[in-house]
Amino acid sequence: MKILVVGSGGREHALAWKLAQSERVQTVYVAPGNGGTALDTRLVNVEITDPAALADFVVAEHVALTLVGPEAPLAAGIVNLFRSRGLKIFGPTREAAQLESSKDFAKAFMQRHGIPTAKYQSFSDAAQAHAYVDANGAPIVIKADGLAAGKGVVVAMTLEEAHAAVDHMLSDNAFGDAGARIVIEEFLAGEEASFIVMCDGKNVLPMATSQDHKRLKDADQGPNTGGMGAYSPAPIVTPAMHARVMREIINPTIQGMAKDGIQFTGFLYAGLMIDSEGNPRTLEFNCRMGDPETQPIMSRLKSDYVTVLEHACNGTLDAVELEWDRRTAVGVVMAASGYPDNPRKGDVIDGIPAETAECITFHAGTTLADGVLKTNGGRVLCVVGLGDSVKMAQKQAYDVVDQIRFDGAQFRRDIGWRGMK
């Protein structure tokens, strides 16, 4: 059968790589894909991004199933469109994707359904927002309501930073419509984890746990990014914590959406903050897999993912039990010069070794032109190492990172450090 993966990042490369391993698959198309999906002989890049044109392509090529990576097409309603044309697609509808596409929607939803999260209030008036900041003090967190490609959150450690963030979003209109409304919320301390499940509308199937590294530099210093590396599993999510998150966050979210008249299908990703007493709270919801979390997670998945996706589209995820590699996977992101503010494109990339059983290099912002691989975006590669401990997985990943060269490459040396405590 033929499968289509929508997107062009490292997440989509990892999903397509995994799907292509299935004996049941003839072709995996990636739209639009990247330099890595172009190089992989089992994958075929398709230069289409418009959802209606993608649906036409799926009909013409008899594609059996479509999997969507990024949030933007989901929020724009690609699942609604495909389903209206009778095409099989895994993801949330536009309505369900509001859990990610509007922070105000997500916060009101969590409050209504008693799902643990930071205290908050929403504002579209700058004077009222400033007054709320003064009344609550710093640290405090300011978030643009809409999708802002990972740039819409300011964790303000001082009142000055908080007021500046309010002005930037509400008065300077920095994010356009996405920032015309903001959420101001309580600062939560603790350790983060990514908790990702698949939902078919009724059944919930948890993926392996993982932990991202948001800051650009070692020891969690420097600016926030889309994620500089991730590892799986995350030891902070013990079996007891797993059960608690399912009971207090994931199940109430799926049931709450149903009560509100929205059937949830697709990936549900709860970004958790776990405090020093072990209480999990939801920082945010995403309605897709994480990037870079997908790269280590898919590297550990042993089950045939095509079969899993079929069950997900047919509402029979209760029949699936996922099998995971017992090893730890550590994924190190190599980013371009200037990332995250102003990534440079066009640097030639050399030295990527062939995949082994211990190390896979997934591409993100890369492009292949006339046989030359060049940087083409902020996060360029994600090198995933597998090993019997975090330390051994790290060694596998960094041995390969050290062989790869492109000008201005930025990466952290400490991915996985919390897992070694």
Of the listed pieces 286-294, 305-313, 357-365, 374-382, which binds ligand GLY according to CB under 6 A?
286-294
Least separation in angstroms between residue 300's CB and ligand AMP is: 22
Beta-carbon contacts of 207 under 8 Å, excluding residues fewer than 6 positions away, are 196, 197, 198, 267, 289, 297, 322
Give the amino acid at 253: T
Q: Does 141 bind ligand AMP (CB under 6 A)?
A: yes
Among 40, 293, 310, 347, binds ligand GLY (CB under 6 A): 293
Rounded Cα–Cα distance for residues 407 and 335 (Å): 10
Residue 140 or 349 having the CB closest to ligand AMP = 140
Q: Does residue 40 bind ligand GLY (CB under 6 A)?
A: no
291 is a contact residue toward ligand GLY (CB under 6 A): yes
Tell me the number of residues near ligand GLY by CB under 6 A.
6
12 in contact with ligand GLY (CB under 6 A): no
118 makes contact with ligand AMP (CB under 6 A) = yes
Q: Is 153 in the site for ligand AMP (CB under 6 A)?
A: yes
When asked if residue 100 is in the footprint of ligand GLY (CB under 6 A), the reply is no
Q: Is 70 in the site for ligand GLY (CB under 6 A)?
A: no
Closer of 56 and 186 to ligand AMP (Cβ): 186
- Helix, coil or strand: residue 384: strand
Q: Cβ contacts of residue 211 below 8 Å, gap of 6+?
A: 191, 192, 193, 194, 230, 231, 232, 234, 236, 418, 419
Among 188, 193, 268, 384, binds ligand AMP (CB under 6 A): 188
For position 227 contacting ligand GLY by CB under 6 A, the verdict is: yes
| CA 16 – CA 2 distance, rounded (Å) | 11
Site membership for ligand GLY, residue 92 (CB under 6 A): no
Binding residues for ligand AMP restricted to 236-295, rule: CB under 6 A: 271, 283-284
Q: Nearest-CA neighbor of 267 among 65, 71, 34, 23?
A: 71
192 counts as binding ligand AMP under rule CB under 6 A: yes
* 125 burial via Cβ count (<10 Å: 0-12, 13-18, 19+): exposed
* Least distance to ligand AMP, CB of residue 108, Å: 15
Q: Sign of the C-alpha dihedral, residues 301, 304, 305, 311?
A: negative
Beta-bridged to residue 328, according to DSSP, are 387
Nearest to 382 by CA among 3, 17, 2: 17
Q: Is 212 in the site for ligand GLY (CB under 6 A)?
A: yes
**Structure tokens that stand for 386 in this block:** 């597998």
Closest-by-Cβ residue to ligand AMP is: 284
Provide the binding-site residues for ligand AMP, judged by CB under 6 A: 118, 141, 143, 153, 155, 185-188, 192, 214, 224, 271, 283-284
